[in-house]
Homo-oligomer: A and B are copies of this chain.
Amino acid sequence: MNAVTIKDVANAAGVSVATASRVLSGHPATSPDSRAKVESAAKELGFMPNAQARSLRSTKTDSIALLISDVRNPYFSDLAHAVEQHARAAGLMTFIGNANEDAAQQDDFLATMLSRRVDGLVIVPQGLNEESNQPSEMMNRVLSSGIPTIFVDRALPGVQVPAITANSAQALDEAVATLHSLNHQKIAFIGGPKHASTALERYSAFETALANNGLHADEALHFVGDFQPASGALAAQWLLDNPAKPSAVIIADAPMAIGALRVWRELGVRVGADLSVITFDEVDAMLIHDPPIATIGHDLSQMGKMAVQALREVMAGQKPEPEELISKFTLRTSVAVAKATQVMEGKVRP
């Protein structure tokens, strides 16, 4: 019952361990005869090579680690799925780790991955330390370890690691232009935490878009959330209470959008009439809302593909350029984003 080793196979096949090893790892120097014997013996005994021993010897594990911020966020589970599929196609096993938007859990995962000697790392970095404004000690260790690493979705300011990120400038331009053309003057932004580079990029692209459309940014219309549903719910209330009375809002991710939409439904705010909403992340849930919510999204499958590709280049000794994926604005219907007329007249407020 106990783990059958290559030695058992060799014995059963009547050859030496070396020959067995050569056959089993596809080494050319093997005779058809011993190949047959070893293969049948291995199959007979149900031999499974011990990956530990193999990679201890060969210093290759044929595995990579993927660190994401939140498994339960569809954005990241889509990304994880994409990375996994492409890595698998390249013969690499993917270990998926969950940082839970938490630097400590990030470091924990990185440590075990370092211990397991994965061949490469794809990381959605959690951001710099709040106080020191530096990467965490463990992150530094990773960076100086020489293990091929690339960032995806987010980047770390000042850290020279190739990153696959998204550029939402154009999409936000279109989104803001659309809202502006419908008379919206006060557009709120429910953003993400400042440690996430995506949150910064999205907000600053939003500011630029405002300027491009002759509108001006107003910090009072900026809610800093944490990418989670609960903060979206808070933001929903914040928006209703906002003295500036915004008539439209752009939300930086789907979980917050879902949290907010729930609250607005509960309070009877008619999204698409009383309030125009555009959200980041193209998730199916946005399509069951009536009217469907306009979105700014990325091709996560593409992002995953680019990430794996870039990682493989690093593993092969090349130095890939950072790449930006262009975000796409999808105005699903002219109803989702409504004309701002008598928007938010006191009636829907508490």
A258 within 8 A of B: yes
A93 CA to B67 CA, complexed, in Å: 14
Q: Which of A18-26, A110-118, A197-205, A308-316 sits within the interface?
A: A110-118
Q: Is the CB of B1 within 8 A of A146?
A: yes
- Which residues of B have CB within 8 Å of A261? 288
Q: Is the CB of B229 within 8 A of A284?
A: yes
Q: Is the CB of B117 within 8 A of A51?
A: yes
Q: Is the CB of A53 within 8 A of B50?
A: no
| A78 CB, nearest partner CB in chain B, Å | 6
User: Which residue of B is nearest A141, CB measured?
Assistant: B46
A241 within 8 A of B: no
- Which residues of B have CB within 8 Å of A288? 258, 261-262, 265, 285, 288-289
User: Which residue of B is nearest A265, CB measured?
Assistant: B290
A144 CA to B117 CA, complexed, in Å: 29
A 2-37 binary contact with B (CB < 8 Å = 1; else 0)? 110000000000000000000000000000000000
Q: Is the CB of A53 within 8 A of B51?
A: no
User: Which residue of B is nearest A116, CB measured?
Assistant: B51
User: Which residue of B is nearest A284, CB measured?
Assistant: B258
A 235-260 binary contact with B (CB < 8 Å = 1; else 0)? 00000000000000000000100110
User: Which residue of B is nearest A111, CB measured?
Assistant: B48
A281 CA to B287 CA, complexed, in Å: 18
- Which residues of B have CB within 8 Å of A136? none
Q: Is the CB of A115 within 8 A of B265?
A: no
A213 CA to B53 CA, complexed, in Å: 61
- In the complex with contacts A55-B52, A144-B1, A284-B262, A98-B81 CB distance below 8 A: yes
A contact set with B: CB distance below 8 Å: 1-3, 46, 48-53, 55-56, 61, 71-72, 74, 77-78, 80-81, 84, 88, 93, 95-96, 98, 108, 111-112, 114-117, 141, 144-146, 229, 255, 258-259, 261-262, 265, 284-285, 287-290, 292
